[in-house]
Structure 1
Amino acid sequence: MRIDKLLAHSGLGTRKEVKKLLKASMIEINSEVIKDPKTQVDPDVDVILIAGEALDYQEFVYFMLNKPAGVISATEDDMHETVLDLLQPSDIVQEPHPVGRLDIDTEGLLLLTNDGALTHRLLSPKRHVDKTYFAEIEGLVSDKDITQFKEGVTLADDYVTMPAELTILSIDEETQTSKVEITIQEGKFHQVKRMFHAVGKDVLYLKRLSMGKLTLDPHLELGAYRECTKAEIAQLKA
């Protein structure tokens, strides 16, 4: 990797700003002052010093975000706030992207990373990665619904979903609403909402709780994010 690209990805500024650091003789590679921005460097092998301080470079970043409603799962948009708008500028330099999408009005767990290989593994239809949601439903969810979800639900476009696990948490007959958890292994457009609509019910509120073995940190407030721990990253890659 070119030294100017590596330094820019490390949050030390734009390519133009990084070139100023190089010209000022502030960058050393293996005890040699480097001024050429095209110099090739291997961060896993070479010792890189910035004004005498060792550079701790991370090739990949992994962030757990508790996505709020009203924010879209995209890297840029002209009309809506995106999940990247919730990140600090220093955390955007390595160009993370959302792994999958949550609807604009859906809250909860969203993984942001620049690890393309991991993204592919988590989103590949062949992997059947579990995604669990909490939902508030308009209507009384029944054992019949549990059976239908387990067998696969036929959506309005005649697509039959893969089997899903539906758990009833509570029923409120007075308000005619239900609270449930649902685990699916697909990510079709508005899938959870369409599945409930297919059985005559509507989703009032939806929040993703987990994706694979990654579970939303209960202490993470809406709109907040944090780096995934080494254990969480290992679980995602397992």
Structure 2
Amino acid sequence: MRLDKYLCEAGYGTRSEVKKLLRSCIVTVNGERVTKSETKIKDGDVVCVAGKEACFSRVEYWMLHKPAGYISATEDKKLDTVLELLPENARSDLFPVGRLDRDTEGLLLLTNDGKLAHYLLSPKRHVDKTYYARIQGRVKSEHVQAFLEGLDIGDEKKTLPAELRILKSGPESEIEVTIREGRFHQVKRMFEVIGCEVTYLKRLSMGSLKLDETLEIGACRPLTEEELRKLKEETGCWTE
């Protein structure tokens, strides 16, 4: 990897900012001062800036408490994307694992680990995803069984069994629902089938990963070692 790219990925700014840094003669590689951007960095090389080692992770995992109004995409010419909520020192090649609707809040994992993302999103693996929702309409005990049996939402197949928990039943109901697939607008379409409308939706968990409720809406943080270990254990996915 080129030295300027290495320093950019380590959070020292843009390419132009890194070039200025190199011209200031405070960057060393294995103890030797280096000023050329094109200098090649190999595994095992020690890069320091002003005497402090410059390190970066080739693979990163971020938990985001997604707010409404942002789309789960890496770029868009008109709309705000979730990547805009990441800190400046985050890697530039991160992407959201799966999609939350623009108006949906809650847990979103962002990473550049394509292997883990594939394992979490693969339709064959049926990773549990739990949501909290406010529903316009009365959700009844009979709907719990209907969700468990699977619903016809207009696709070729019924939905897989889903676990519906009624927190409050009334003109406006509150529920938690766990689904094991990720069809387009699935939760909203499931409630439409029973004559109800989702007015608020928030994802609480994905597999073993649970939303850190101390994270303010719009805030993010790296996954803890324990969170990452559990994710990789349940998927059997270990990145070298």
Q: If the length of structure 1 is used for normalisation, what is the TM-score?
A: 0.90
Q: Distance in 1 between matches of 2:206 and 2:115?
A: 16
Deviations 1:159-215 (A, max 9, x none): 41111111111212xxx2221111111111101001111222211111100011111
Residue 2 of structure 1 pairs with residue 9 of structure 2: no
Residue 70 of structure 1 pairs with residue 69 of structure 2: yes
User: Match for 1:37: what amino acid?
Assistant: S
Q: 1:234 aligns with which of 220, 224, 229?
A: 229
> For 1:89, what is the secondary structure of its paired residue?
coil
Deviations 1:112-150 (A, max 9, x none): 112222211211112211110001112222232111211
Structure 1 range deviating more: 178-187 or 75-84: 75-84
Hey, what does 2:236 align to over in structure 1?
A: none
Hey, what does 1:99 align to over in structure 2?
A: 97
Q: Distance in 1 between matches of 2:58 and 2:200?
A: 37
User: Match for 1:132: what amino acid?
Assistant: T
Q: Once the 2 structures are TM-superposed, how far is the Cα of residue 23 of structure 1 from its aligned partner?
A: 4.1
User: Match for 2:176: what amino acid?
Assistant: E
Identify if the C-alpha distance between structure 1 residues 186 and 15 changes in structure 2 by more than 3 Å, giving closer, same or farther: same
Q: Once the 2 structures are TM-superposed, how far is the Cα of residue 5 of structure 1 from its aligned partner?
A: 1.4
Q: 2:142 aligns with which of 144, 160, 163?
A: 144
Percent identity of paired positions between Structure 1 and Structure 2: 53
Q: Once the 2 structures are TM-superposed, how far is the Cα of residue 16 of structure 1 from its aligned partner?
A: 3.0
Q: Once the 2 structures are TM-superposed, how far is the Cα of residue 19 of structure 1 from its aligned partner?
A: 3.1
Hey, what does 2:19 align to over in structure 1?
A: 19
Q: Distance in 1 between matches of 2:219 and 2:14?
A: 26
Deviations 1:65-87 (A, max 9, x none): 11111111112222222112222
| Structure 1 residues 178-217: aligned runs within 5 Å | 178-217=173-212
Q: Distance in 2 between matches of 1:14 and 1:54?
A: 18
Contact 1:162 1:185 in 2 (8 A): yes
Contact 1:10 1:94 in 2 (8 A): no
Q: Distance in 2 between matches of 1:2 and 1:108?
A: 37
Q: Once the 2 structures are TM-superposed, how far is the Cα of residue 32 of structure 1 from its aligned partner?
A: 2.6
Structure 1 range deviating more: 64-73 or 139-148: 139-148
Q: Once the 2 structures are TM-superposed, how far is the Cα of residue 13 of structure 1 from its aligned partner?
A: 1.9
> For 2:177, what is the secondary structure of its paired residue?
strand
Contact 1:61 1:94 in 2 (8 A): no
Residue 168 of structure 1 pairs with residue 159 of structure 2: no
> For 1:101, what is the secondary structure of its paired residue?
coil
Q: Any stretches of 5+ residues in structure 1 without a counterpart? A: none
> For 2:173, what is the secondary structure of its paired residue?
strand
Q: Distance in 2 between matches of 1:116 and 1:25?
A: 37
Q: Any stretches of 5+ residues in structure 2 without a counterpart? A: 234-240
Between the two proteins, the alignment pairs up a number of residues equal to 233
| Structure 1 residues 57-136: aligned runs within 5 Å | 57-91=56-90, 93-136=91-134
